[in-house]
Amino acid sequence: MPVDFNFMVGGEAGQGVQSVGFLLAKVFTRGGYHVFADQDYESRVRGGHNFFRIRVKDSRVGTIAEPVDLLVALNRESIDLHRKELASGGIAIFDVDKIRDISTGGELFGIPLERLAEEKAGDKVMANTVALGAALALVGYDLNILNAALVEHFGKGDIGDSNIAAAKAGYDYAQSEYKADFRKLKPVSETKRMLLTGNEAISLAAIAAGCKFMSAYPMTPASSIMEYMAAKSKELDLVMVHAEDEIAAINMAIGAAYAGVRAMTATSGSGLCLMVEGMGLAGITETPVVIIDAQRPGPAVGLPTRTEQGDLQFVLHTHHGDFPRAVLAPANVEDAFWVTVRAFNWADKYQLPVIILTDQHLASSYATVDPFDLSQVTIDRGLLFSDQEDDPSKYRRHRVTQSGISPRAFPGLGRALVVTDCDEHDEEGHLTEDAEERTQQVQKRLRKLFSLKQEISAPWHYGPKKAETTLIGWGSTYGAIHEAVDMLRREGASVNMLHLNELWPFLAEAVTDAVSKAHSSYVIENNATGQLASLIKAETGHDVSGRILKYDGRPFTPAYIAEAVRKEGC
C-alpha cells in the first residue's frame, strides 16, 4: 500500500514547533521518503498558535493534504483546534500532566512530556524533543536517523546529547505505553535527496548562477534569502548588504550590476512598493537586476506571515512608462532553483529587471528534491564590449541595434567610458530631449522583448491532452492543482491542467489554445480577483469560465480545489 502520511506539530511560538517540524521532515527525507512540509505561523515571536504540517510519501509530493494522521500537540490549543482534522485511526500526542481536563478518546495518547524531559534530559524545555521521539516510536521509525539529525541541529556536546536523551525518553515511553496498532513507516531507501525551502533553492541558484551581490531589507517571507546569502558571504566570496530601506536595497543592487557583477534583491509586497522607482531606473538604464517578490497578503502590511498571489498585476505594471521586464513564477522548490538561474541569464542578456514571484507558501515550505545537477547551470552574461576588438573611445552604452541589445562594458575594467542616465539619453548615455533620439531609445528597449519572448517556455500541461475542464494556475499552486486533477480524474471527471511559471512576456498562443480547446476553464488563484484571468483576457481576448479563488492567507489543498471544481458542476 502506498505511503501517504501526515504529521502536524502545533504549539505556540517559542515552544519549538519549527524544530520538531523541520526534524521530522529531515528524518523522513533521510529514510528515502518524499516530503512536503509547510509552516503556518503568526506574526509574533512568543505565544499565538503555530503549526507545521509534514506530509510523507513514498512517491513524489508537491502539496499539503488533509487529514492529519499524527498530531503532536505541544499545547492545549493545538488539540482543540486540530483534533477534528484527525484521520480515522489518527492519534494526537500531548502532555498528559499539563492537559488534564480533556475528554479522552482512543485518538488521544498522553505522555508526560515535560516530566520526561526534566527527568531524562535535565530540562523541561526539551519537551518538544520528547514528543518528537514519541512520534517516531509510534510509526516505528529508526531512532538513529533522528539522533544524527539532532546532533546536526543542536550541535555536538551537551545540548545535542540532552536532546538525544530526551528523544530516547519519548521513544521508549511510547514504545512501552502505546498498546494499540498504528501505521508503521520504515526507512524505504538510501536515495539522497535534498530537503529545502523555496527561499533556500533561490539562494543556492543565485550563488550557482554567479550572483555576487545582494542588498535587501528584511521582510517576511523574503528575509531568509538575505540571511542565507549573508551566512555564506565569507565562504563563497559574496557581499550581502543589509540596506537602510528597500529603496536603497534596489538602488545598491543596480549600482553593483552596472559595475559588472550579478546582483539581486528580495522583498515582499510593500517592500516592492518602495522599489518601484528603482525598477524603472533599471529599465531605462538597461541594468540587469533580479528582484525576488515573495508575496504575502496585502494591501499594505496585510497578513505578514501568510500567503497570497496578489502581486501579479502589480509586478506586470510596476513603474510608469513603457519598458521591458520579465516575470517568472516558480511552480515549486525545484523549479525555483532553475527559474532563478534563468532569471540571471535573462537579466544579463536582455539588460532589464527580472522579477521572480514566489509567495510565503513556496518561500517557507520544505520539499524534497533530487540534488540539483549543477552541470546544467549555464551562465550567459549576454553581449559584452571588448576593448581588444573595438575602439573604446567610440563606445556607446545605448547603441541602437536591431535586436535592441547594446553590448555592455563595465566601468574601470577597460578604457571605455560607460555612461548611462535615468533621463532619456542618447546612444552615448548623455541626457537628451531630442524627439528622434527619444523614439529610437524607447523602441530599442522594447525590441528586446521580441527575442526574450522566444525564450519563454510553453506552460506546463498535465492530464489528458483534451479534457472537458481545464484548470489554469500559476506559481506555487502547482502541486495542489496537480493532485486535485488526479483526485477528480479518479472520480471519472475529464480534467487537465495548464500551469504558467513564465508569465511575462506572455505566450498568448499557448494559453489561447488551451482555453479554446476545453469546454470550460477555471483559474485557480490565491487572490481575490483572479489576476491571471485578467491577464489572459487582456492578452488573448478569452474569458475563462470561472475563477476559483482563495484569499484567506492560507494555501490551497487538493481537496479544497477538487471540491470547488465539483461545485462548479464539472
Partner 1 sequence: MVELSDYAGLKPAWCPGCGNFGILRALNRALVELEIEPHQVLLVSGIGQAGKLPHYTRGNVFNSLHGRPVPPAIGAKIANPDLVVIAISGDGDGYGEGGNHFIHAARRNHDITYLVHNNQVYGLTKGQASPTSDLGFVTKTTPDGAASPLNPVALAIVCGASFVSRSFAGDIDHLSHVIKEGITHRGFALIDILQPCPSFNHKNTFQWYRERVYKLEDESGYDPGDRKVALERAQEWGERIPIGIIFRKELPVYEEQLPALSKGPLVRQENIPARVEKLLTEFM
Distance in Å, CB of 111 to partner 1, minimum? 31
Residue 248 binds to partner 1 (criterion: CB under 8 A):
yes
Distance in Å, CB of 31 to partner 1, minimum? 13
Residue 234 binds to partner 1 (criterion: CB under 8 A):
yes
Could you say which DSSP state residue 473 is in? E
Distance in Å, CB of 275 to partner 1, minimum? 11
- Closer residue to partner 1, CB minimum distance, 237 or 389: 237
How many residues bind partner 1 (CB under 8 A)? The answer is 69
Residue 324 binds to partner 1 (criterion: CB under 8 A):
no
H/E run at residue 449: helix 435-455
**Sole binder of partner 1 in the list 318, 420, 477, 496 (CB under 8 A):** 420
**Sole binder of partner 1 in the list 193, 396, 399, 438 (CB under 8 A):** 193
**Sole binder of partner 1 in the list 92, 243, 312, 480 (CB under 8 A):** 243
Residue 258 binds to partner 1 (criterion: CB under 8 A):
yes
**Sole binder of partner 1 in the list 188, 236, 301, 384 (CB under 8 A):** 236
Cell of 327: 516575470
Distance in Å, CB of 150 to partner 1, minimum? 16
Q: Give the sign of the dihedral formed by CA 167, CA 168, CA 174, CA 177.
A: negative
- Closer residue to partner 1, CB minimum distance, 122 or 411: 411
Cell of 511: 494559453
Q: Judged by CB under 8 A, which stretch of 160-168, 248-256, 308-316, 438-446 contacts partner 1? A: 248-256
Helix (H, G, I), strand (E, B) or coil at 503: strand
The CA-based angle 24-369-25, given to 5 degrees, is: 5
Residue 544 binds to partner 1 (criterion: CB under 8 A):
no
H/E run at residue 146: helix 143-154
Could you say which DSSP state residue 431 is in? B
Alpha-carbon distance of 484 to 558, in angstroms, equals: 4
Site for partner 1 in 388-407 (CB under 8 A): 392
Alpha-carbon distance of 314 to 530, in angstroms, equals: 13
**Sole binder of partner 1 in the list 254, 356, 467, 524 (CB under 8 A):** 254
Q: Judged by CB under 8 A, which stretch of 154-162, 370-378, 493-501, 542-550 contacts partner 1? A: 370-378
Distance in Å, CB of 318 to partner 1, minimum? 14
Cell of 504: 511575462
Site string for partner 1, 276-315 (x = CB under 8 A): -xx--x---x------------------------------
The CA-based angle 181-182-186, given to 5 degrees, is: 125
- Closer residue to partner 1, CB minimum distance, 201 or 481: 201
Question: Cell 553593483 sits at which residue?
Answer: 256
Q: Judged by CB under 8 A, which stretch of 38-46, 139-147, 153-161, 254-262 contacts partner 1? A: 254-262
Nearest to 296 by CA among 285, 305, 286, 287: 305
Helix (H, G, I), strand (E, B) or coil at 119: helix
Site string for partner 1, 196-215 (x = CB under 8 A): x---x---x--xx-x-xx-x
Residue 347 binds to partner 1 (criterion: CB under 8 A):
no
Cβ atoms of 63 and 50 closer than 8 Å = no
- Closer residue to partner 1, CB minimum distance, 430 or 542: 430
Site for partner 1 in 424-443 (CB under 8 A): 429-431
Burial class (CB in 10 A: 0-12, 13-18, 19+), 434: exposed
Site string for partner 1, 120-159 (x = CB under 8 A): ----------------------------------------
Cβ atoms of 361 and 307 closer than 8 Å = yes
- Closer residue to partner 1, CB minimum distance, 24 or 515: 24
Distance in Å, CB of 100 to partner 1, minimum? 41
**Sole binder of partner 1 in the list 412, 434, 538, 543 (CB under 8 A):** 412
Cβ atoms of 515 and 521 closer than 8 Å = yes
Distance in Å, CB of 207 to partner 1, minimum? 6
Single-letter amino acid code for the residue at 208: A
Distance in Å, CB of 15 to partner 1, minimum? 25
Alpha-carbon distance of 48 to 58, in angstroms, equals: 33
Question: Cell 545605448 sits at which residue?
Answer: 398
CA dist 301 to 181, 295, 304, 539, Å?
A: 47, 11, 6, 31
Cell of 299: 494591501
Burial class (CB in 10 A: 0-12, 13-18, 19+), 523: buried
Residue 261 binds to partner 1 (criterion: CB under 8 A):
yes
Helix (H, G, I), strand (E, B) or coil at 102: coil
Cβ atoms of 521 and 544 closer than 8 Å = yes
Q: Judged by CB under 8 A, which stretch of 87-95, 186-194, 491-499, 546-554 contacts partner 1? A: 186-194
Phi-psi region of 319 (alpha: psi -120 to 50; beta: other; left: phi over 0): left
Cβ atoms of 336 and 198 closer than 8 Å = yes
Residues forming contacts to partner 1 in the complex (CB under 8 A) are 29-30, 192-196, 200, 204, 207-208, 210, 212-213, 215, 232-239, 241, 243-245, 247-249, 251-261, 263, 277-278, 281, 285, 371-372, 374, 377, 379, 392, 410-423, 429-431
